[in-house]
Each structure stands twice: as structure tokens, then as C-alpha cells.
Amino acid sequence: MKHLLSIADLTGADIHGLLELTDHMVEISQRTIPKVPALRGKNVVSLFFEDSTRTRTSFDAAAKRLSADTMNFAVSSSSVNKGESLRDTIETISAMGVDAFVIRHKSSGAPQMITRWTTACVVNAGDGWHQHPTQALLDCYTIRTNLNRRDSFEGLRIAIVGDIKHSRVARSDVQAFTALGAHVTIVAPPTLLPPSLDGWPVEISHELDSILPDLDVLYLLRVQRERMDDALLPSLREYSSMYGLTAARAARLPAHALVMHPGPMNRGVEIVVDPADLAGSVILDQVTNGVAVRMAVLFQLLGSGGDLKGDVS
């Protein structure tokens, strides 16, 4: 594994291996000094062409727990503003000595393209509507540990609800969940579905209520307010009444079912009930697991052999 660009590049066994490695990273994260020298001297550069403090920080924390050095490029202050091409930017930063790039870009496929211009590893931290593979891995890890499904998701029923059309999270999660054997239903109004669902190994539903009692996982997507401007949504209130997680809907979920969300949440829209009041909410577990999963990804790409044993004291 040289890059992490898309869940589509991974087999179920690959995903399983990364989740096993994540177990080690969780153990490290729970130590008194949650830090190992595994990636000392490695240089991890995050290059975010779209704002995302949340994801950038999670990668940053992951890199630091492995003792890597980190550099953050906010594009607003970079030479990209002086008209430099993406290729020149990548080649230049790369020439300073980079071991891994963590890339977020509004264009689908940008991370893939960037692999041509650098010998560093590339991790896709979200590209357009295309992929967000570490999100899918942390979602898998969260389901795996909370539903005690170490070996397979066979038989699990997962619903992903919301703006499937514009969601890299949905695309990545569908691939990852089904690669591990889960049964996935996507739930959305017709305007928020992709034009074609050929090749999506999912069931489709336009309503949520009838399927709630059968779910093991209810995965809520963030509603982008700008979709209303595109006339794809009549109103947030109408969306909420059809697809929002209210207390009434939450009560219809099985007791063991998980509620998940990639954040940041629009409270009162896709999630009306306070997740703190839901026994099944694992939304903060997702955040915590995100750091461990990203440690596993960085270690898989940049680490060598048995060097998780040491400590930094």
C-alpha cells in the first residue's frame, strides 16, 4: 500500500488489516504517555484546499502520536494564490522532503492526480463528492467495536440517510460497509440521489420510518444548507420532518442500534434529538476512533517493521 486514495482500492481483507492495526493504535492512545517514536523524522504535510479544521486536526494529532513532524498548508496563504499551478506547488513542497501528503480538495480525483507529481505517499482526506476513505475506516472501526463484530459485518443492516448525491462519505461508507459484508440501505429524497445507482450494492428507500425497527446502524449525513439554494431541498423543516432523527424515530430503533454522524451536526435538521440523550449514539466515538484509524493509515504507509514497541520517555 503506497497511497490511500479510495476505499474501492481496498479488499475486505485490506480493511480488516487496517482495523486490526487500529486496535494497536487505540492501545497506544490510552497510555499515560500516548506517544511512540515510530515515525520520528518523518514529515507529514497536510494540504487542505477546502477548510476542515476537524479532519486536519485529527490527522495532525495522529501524526504527533507517532512522533512525525507535521506541516500545515492553508491554501489561502500559499503560492497557489500567486498563480502557481497545483503541479508546481506539489513538486516544490515535495522537493523540501515530504514523506506523506494529506490532501483535501474540492475536485474529485485531485489526490490521484497528485500521486504523479511526488514520490511521497498520498492520503485522500476528502476529494469533491468522490471519496473520504479514512472516514469510512473510522466508521467501520466504530461499528466493529461497538457491535462487537471483529470478523465480519455479515448480517448487519445499515441505513445511510441524507444527501447521498453530493456525499463522499456515503460513497466511501457504502463501499467499506459492503466490503465487510453488511447490508446497506440508502435513504434520501429522489433529488438527493445520484443520477444513476448502477453498481451500488445497496437497497434504496425514499422514506425512513418503516425501516427503523430493523436497523443495526442508523448513519445520518450532514445536510448542506446550500442544497436548498440549488432547489434540491424544499426546506430544512420539511427535510427534518421526513428524515430527521426525532425522539419518536429514535424510540423505534432497536435497543442495540447505533446512531452515527460524520459531523459537524446540524442540530434541529438531520438530528433533532440531543445525541447525548441517545444510548446508541457513538458520534463522539467516531471522532476518537478517527485519530487511531489515521495513526494506523500513516503507520501502514510510512512505518517499518516492529517499531511500535518503543516509547518516547
Question: Given the rule CB under 8 A, which residues bind a second copy?
Answer: 29, 31-35, 37, 40-41, 43, 51, 53-54, 57-58, 60-61, 64, 69, 71, 73-74, 77-79, 81-85, 88-89, 91-93, 95-97, 225, 263-267, 284-285, 287-288, 290-291, 312-313
Q: Is 82 a catalytic residue?
A: yes
Q: Between helices 168-179 and 12-29, what is the axis angle to 10°?
A: 100
Please identify which of the residues 54, 87, 150, 206 carries the catalytic annotation: 54
Q: Is 31 a catalytic residue?
A: no
Cβ atoms of 298 and 100 closer than 8 Å: yes
Residues 6+ apart with CB under 8 A from 58: 287, 290, 291, 294
Cis peptide before 37 (omega within 30 of 0): no
Please identify which of the residues 82, 116, 119, 309 carries the catalytic annotation: 82
Nearest distance, CB of residue 53 and a second copy, angstroms = 4
The span from the CA of 85 to the CA of 138, in Å, is 33
Q: Is 249 a catalytic residue?
A: no
Beta strands in the chain (DSSP E): 43-48, 69-74, 100-105, 121-127, 157-161, 183-187, 203-205, 217-220, 258-260
Using the minimum distance from each CB to a second copy, give the nearer residue, 212 or 302: 302
Phi/psi for 98 (5° steps) reads -120, 135
Please identify which of the residues 65, 132, 166, 294 carries the catalytic annotation: 132
Nearest distance, CB of residue 222 and a second copy, angstroms = 9
Using the minimum distance from each CB to a second copy, give the nearer residue, 6 or 289: 289
Please identify which of the residues 16, 104, 168, 222 carries the catalytic annotation: 104
Nearest distance, CB of residue 35 and a second copy, angstroms = 4
**How crowded is residue 205: how many other Cβ atoms within 10 Å of its Cβ?**
15
Q: Is 149 a catalytic residue?
A: no
Using the minimum distance from each CB to a second copy, give the nearer residue, 186 or 297: 297
Q: Is 237 a catalytic residue?
A: no
Using a 10 angstrom Cβ sphere, with 0-12 exposed, 13-18 middle and 19 or more buried, the burial of residue 292 is buried
Give catalytic residues, as residue numbers. Answer: 54-55, 82, 104, 132
